[in-house]
Amino acid sequence: MDRYRFILSGGGTGGHIYPAVAIANELKRRYPDAEFLFVGAKDKMEMEKVPQAGYEIKGLWISGIQRKLTLKNLMFPFKLISSLLEARKIVKQFKPHVAIGTGGFASGPLLRMAESSGVPCVLQEQNSFAGITNKLLAGKADKICVAYDNMERFFPKEKIIKTGNPIRTDLVEVKASKKEATAFFGFDSDKKTVLVLGGSLGARRINQLIEKELEFFVKQGLQVLWQCGKLYHEEYKKHESDTVKVLAFVNRMDLAYAAADVIISRAGAGSVSELCLVGKPVIFIPSPNVAEDHQTQNAKALVAKDAAIMLKENELDAEFENRFSALMKSEAIQEKLGRNIKKMAMPKATEHIVDEIVKLLK
């Protein structure tokens, strides 16, 4: 049977949307005649990103609970009831063979209604500290695909399958030589290059750090490939020089990774999974402004295996130069970090997740 119907939900951030789209793409590759429907939150980025990826999406009137008492919180019970009723109607009409949730608020009502209708459910948790929606759904899910060890803290052990996170392999397969890659960015291949990644929008604290340390980098004879994000490009492009390239967005991530000797990055689940595949020494600066501080937990999971360095935002002024200098002075530490982070790569994650979904079709 090729006319399977798959319903997927994941959103709020790219970290939830991208895995859902990657899973759908792999299912579509295996079952070209299958039908797909995404369900998201009406005012979130999935309503734009999912159609761009070629899939239909329906929106629910749902949002998360704010940490302080607000009018939005008073609306939450009404939004939840509305979303559960709408999700039930969607499930009834679409009749999916499997429901897949990758986190985000909209996946809660959808998977709850799918499960209560007897539809097999698969969860995919990207982070080392599980999100609230997946924790609430775990008891009724058939399988839970994770990227980290010790996830039985959050989920029933017998349901957990360690698959890794879906990765944009086309972006991270480092096929180009360092010479080609540095030439692409107008750099000298004989000099060491620091790649700075703050996400597509940018990370204010990382940008402030890099601006402050530019002279320090130059004195060490380093080149800086600085992806500052589109929100900050106007502010920082004045620092562009022969040894500093300031980009709003990196269109050729494969070449950026090939050019890099050391990488400074946020610690979102997708970034961490990609950087494991790249296998270069990384300094993670986790964002403290995310749910359950999951970026810090993601980075700690690598630090525990001697696979990365982590600096919290409040440590940067006191610690950055010392920790960075120690790393750059020691080829042995650079090699160890690169080797250990590479060991944690799971490049076939998407296929393994889909293998588990396929088992439920049988």
Binding-site residues, in ranges, read 13-15, 127, 168, 200, 295
| Per-residue exposure over 227-250, b if at least 16 CB sit within 10 Å of its own CB, e if not | bbbebbbeebeeeeeebbbbbbeb
Nearest residue to 94 (alpha-carbon basis) of 141, 38, 50: 38
CB-based contact 302:272 (threshold 8 Å) = yes
Annotated binding-site positions for UDP-N-acetyl-alpha-D-glucosamine: 13-15, 127, 168, 200, 295
If 0-12 CB within 10 Å is exposed, 13-18 middle and 19+ buried, where does residue 187 land? buried
Q: How far is CA 117 from CA 2, 84, 108, 135, 159, in A?
A: 22, 12, 14, 20, 20
CA-CA distance, 237 to 248, in Å (whole number)?
9
CA-CA distance, 151 to 254, in Å (whole number)?
31
